[in-house]
Structure 1
Amino acid sequence: MDESVVIVGAGIGGLSLALSLHARGVRVTVLERAAELREVGAAVALSANGLRPLDELGLLGELEKVSAQPTALIHRGWRDDERVTAFPVGSDGSYRRRFGAPYLGIHRAEFQRVLAGACPAGMVRLGCEVTAVDPDGTVTLASGERVRGPVVVGADGVHSRVRSVVDPAARPRYTGTSAFRGIVDVADAPLLPDPGAIQFWMGPDAHVLHYAIGPHAEQINFFAVLEGPDPWTGETGPTDTDPGTLARAFDGWSPGVVQMLTAVPQSPRWPLYTLPPMTRWSRGRVVLLGDAVHTMLPHHVQGANQSIEDAAVLADLLAAPGALDGGHTAVFDRYQRLRRARTRSIQRSSLVTSGLLHLPDGPAADARNAGLTGLDPWLTWIHGVDARADTRPVPA
């Protein structure tokens, strides 16, 4: 079929799929509501499982130029700087040797710039708000224009419009936790130990994740998570809250953490969502990808990476002979079978991890800390998987 595959959403998942399909000779049109490409959020951590498919597209070198490679993965308690665990990541090269790609921290705007810059002219159409999607592959825009494809992919995020076509009852659920984000210059947080590492600080009813970004690791991206407010009474997206809310929540924490969190103005407060597992990922010619189908908490830093894995697998399947000429149903069924168990496992583990990171001092926290010394299998389970193992074409 000569029509282009239509992708709704030009975020990380949508652009990764577009580039993966283009590399396999499939025509693509990406419809993006925004008038300019502008990623929401501060930064993203890319682990080896997400970077290997991008490396196969020839993008790793460009990404490394604008990224920082964490020195280590470290967990700490909330009161002081004592390490609970520490695993080398970039400092000795062992992570890259083991998993076939580095671990990178990158500003979202830079990441999207690299992805968008690799797209051919005309592939991404901006200012195209989707108002309706029909299972037959017809997409209606706010302008009244209709765009039709052999396949329509909903890569439009946690509050996906396309998802309602597949399952109108599937809606993201607020988890009872929320987050503040920020980017701090390393020079403005001199009390923070190991600023070049990816670190989790764990404490009662809260935790902080941070990692370095920038080509010289000159900045730190932080993500501070709190319990509540419950119920969430704001909009589905970020909401301004009382000044000083973040500082009060982390009063008494390690001086380095407090200094980092207060070095920049308080951000809006972001509700954190998860999506109950969907039993179907497609309907007719419409299929879902990334956060649109498996929204997950960010506590394994896998949202973007799982979207990239989805894109690589779906691109392999859609590029196969006959896939776009009546073979889409079999493609969608196989895509769901290959991706559902893995994404469900990471969703579930991320949700459990939220509670573990927020334990008060005591026996339960001590048991958690003892368990963290066995993180090696966890890294392998997530970072060591080759998403394309079952779909990569065999060389002739």
Structure 2
Amino acid sequence: MEEMGIVIVGGGIAGLATSLALHRKGIKSVVLERAESLRSDGAALGVQTNGWKALEQLGVAHILRLSSLPFYQIRSVLVENGKRYESAAPVSYGEARCIKRNDLVKVLADALPQGTIRFGCRVASVKLDETTSFPIIRVQDGTNIKAKVLIGCDGANSVVAEFLRLNRTKVCASRAVRGLTSYPNGHGFRHEFVRIKTDDVLCGRLPITAHSVFWFALVPNCSADSKNFKDQEAVQKLTLRSIKELSEEWKEMVKKCDKSSLYMSSLRYRTPWEILFGKFRTGTVTVAGDAMHMMGPFLGQGGSSALEDAVVMARCLAEKIEKCGDSRKRIEEGIDEYVRERRMRLFSLSTQTYLTGLCIESSSRVVKLMFMVFVMVLFFDPIHHTRYDCGRL
């Protein structure tokens, strides 16, 4: 049986960021990634001020700024009963950019020591050693790994979350389509996040550079067992049917998109009350990123909150290990501190996301209005969450 210190399951944004944060604190970790190479799924993500603060602490923000333009406002368009309503507001007091997911994953991976990521390692199960109570990770090839700390960053269907006996994530009614479109001669769009809502669909567009944009569409009433999720030609046709009421500019954007970037997925989430009451530690095992707090894309905070997790996790563990050693008790205290610090932040984020999603997805105008009132009362400053600072690493 191989013995290791800190093992991270999942080589996505949360896993790589957590490993890098630990590395910056002088703590070695190993990332087990089931794929044979860095993940290429997904298109891009918007990162607002709170996310850039975390990236600064990780030491990679300056690299990512080279391949992304800032955007300065959010413009919302509602088309209802043939009428068009439009409003615009500043993004926040700080920085907001859209970055390609592949760029972020590559930059995080390149900053790690060689050999940190082990590809082709699909975790089958987790159990606690009967003698030491440290986790034993069983890899699908039959290998057993004994770790001092296990951090699950393995997404919505997390094996580690299952070990912690967290409920399975729930599924939203809508499906999300994401894509990238290139404009060789420049797209000419304003530096803004524009989103447009009709009776049938919600679409959004974000500039990445002067020649490329990221866009998404939330498609309702798409069967959960659809076999077309990975058929990019079918996904493109479905999206075009969904946006038939929008202008030619939007239709051309979908028609000319890079089909290899097209990505359709279910929208999964943990309810706010699960975040508030969930047990996120057993022994020296915990979770971060989507495995901990999967949320809908309605606030665009999934990636940024995972980056925050990484910074807080590394800080809490390092403080205990540096002062008191790496005994099981001290490690557990560090994880408990991490969970305490993250819980209320994530509860607030997940509540705002959950209510916003209900506003968007509800077909009843009365129900929609009710949830809009809840959002306005509970979150009178709708961009307050972007001002959050996860602190120094």
- For residue 251 of structure 1, what is the amino acid of its counterpart? K
TM-fit CA distance, 1:289 = 0.4
Alignment-derived partner of residue 65 in structure 1:
66
1:18 equivalenced with 2:19 (yes/no): yes
Q: Would the aligned equivalents of 1:15 and 1:116 in 2 still touch at CA under 8 Å?
A: yes
- Percent sequence identity is 25
Alpha carbons of structure 1 residues 375 and 211: separation in structure 2 relative to 1, 3 Å: farther
- Counterpart position of 1:84: 86
Q: Corresponding residue for 2:308?
A: 309
Contact map agreement 2:11 2:32 (CA 8 A) in 1: yes
Residue in 2 that maps onto 1:335: 338
The 1:20/1:359 distance shift into structure 2, 3 A limit, reads same
Q: Displacement, 1:239? A: 4.6
C-alpha offsets along residues 226-280 of structure 1, whole Å, 9 cap, x if unaligned? Answer: 22225x1247x93545773222222222332233233337746421111232510
Q: Does 1:238 align with 2:229?
A: yes
Bigger proportion of residues as helix: 2
Q: 1:273 aligns with which of 264, 268, 273?
A: 268
The match for 2:102 is 109
Q: Contact 2:11/2:39 (CA < 8 Å) preserved in 1?
A: no
Given residue 126 of structure 1, which amino acid in structure 2 is its aligned partner? F
Partner of 1:184: 181
Whether the 8 Å CA contact 1:205–1:358 is kept in 2: the answer is no
Comparing 295-304 with 60-69, greater Cα deviation is found at 60-69
Name 1:92's counterpart in structure 2. none
Cα 1:239–1:87, aligned 2, differ >3 Å: closer, same or farther?
same
Change (3 A) 1:197 1:186: farther
Superposition pairs of residues 31-70 of structure 1, within 5 angstroms: 31-70=32-71
1:74 corresponds in structure 2 to: 75
**Matched residue of 2:180: which SS?**
strand
Counterpart amino acid of residue 16 in structure 1? A
Retained in 2: the 8 A contact 1:202–1:358? no
Residues 204 and 359 in structure 1, CA contact (< 8 A), matched pair in contact too: no
Task: Please show how residues 349-364 of structure 1 align to structure 2 within 5 Å.
Answer: 349-357=352-360
Residue aligned with 2:52, SS:
helix
1:175 aligns with one of 165, 169, 172: 172
Query: What residue number does 1:222 align with?
Result: 215
For residue 324 of structure 2, the aligned residue among 322, 325, 328 is 322
Give how far 1:115 is off: 0.6
Structure 1 distance, partners of 2:201, 2:185, is 23
CA distance in 1, matches of 2:340, 2:111: 30
Q: How many angstroms does 1:107 deviate by?
A: 0.9
Cα gap change, 1:155 to 1:364, in 2 (>3 Å): closer
Any idea what the Cα deviations from partners look like across 1:284-304, whole Å, max 9, x if unmatched?
221000100111001100001
1:248 paired with 2:251, answer: no
Letter aligned with residue 23 of structure 1: R
Distance 1:183 1:345, change over 3 A: same
Tell me, in whole angstroms, the C-alpha distance in 1 between the residues paired with 2:252 and 2:78: 16
Q: Does residue 119 of structure 1 match 2:118?
A: no
Give the corresponding residue for 2:206: 211
Kindly tell me: are residues 73 and 268 of structure 1, through their superposed partners in 2, closer, same or farther at Cα, counting changes over 3 Å? closer
Question: 2:185, 2:211 within 8 Å by CA — same for their partners in 1?
Answer: no
The 1:87/1:299 distance shift into structure 2, 3 A limit, reads same
Q: Using a 3 Å threshold, how does the CA distance of structure 1 residues 359 and 255 change in structure 2: closer, same or farther?
A: farther
Match of 2:131 in 1: none
**Once the 2 structures are TM-superposed, how far is the Cα of residue 348 of structure 1 from its aligned partner?**
2.4
Determine if the alignment matches structure 1 residue 152 to structure 2 residue 147: no
Q: Is the 8 A contact 1:130 1:140 kept in 2?
A: yes
Match of 2:386 in 1: 383
Of 176-185 and 267-276, deviating more is 267-276
Match of 1:164 in 2: 162
Structure 1 runs not aligned, ≥5 long: 90-94
Q: For the residues of structure 1 that align with 2:77 and 2:362, how far apart are their CA atoms?
A: 13
Counterpart residue identity of residue 67, structure 1: S
CA distance in 2 between partners of 1:359 and 1:140 (Å): 43
Residues 204, 361 of structure 1: 8 Å contact kept: no
The more displaced of 308-317 and 64-73 is 64-73
Q: Once the 2 structures are TM-superposed, how far is the Cα of residue 188 of structure 1 from its aligned partner?
A: 8.8
- What's the secondary structure of 1:143's corresponding residue? coil
Conservation of the 8 A alpha-carbon contact between 1:176 and 1:227:
yes
Deviation at 1:133, TM superposition (A): 1.7
Q: Taking structure 2 as the reference length, what is the TM-score of the superposition?
A: 0.84
Give the alignment partner of residue 260 of structure 1, picking from 246, 250, 253. 253
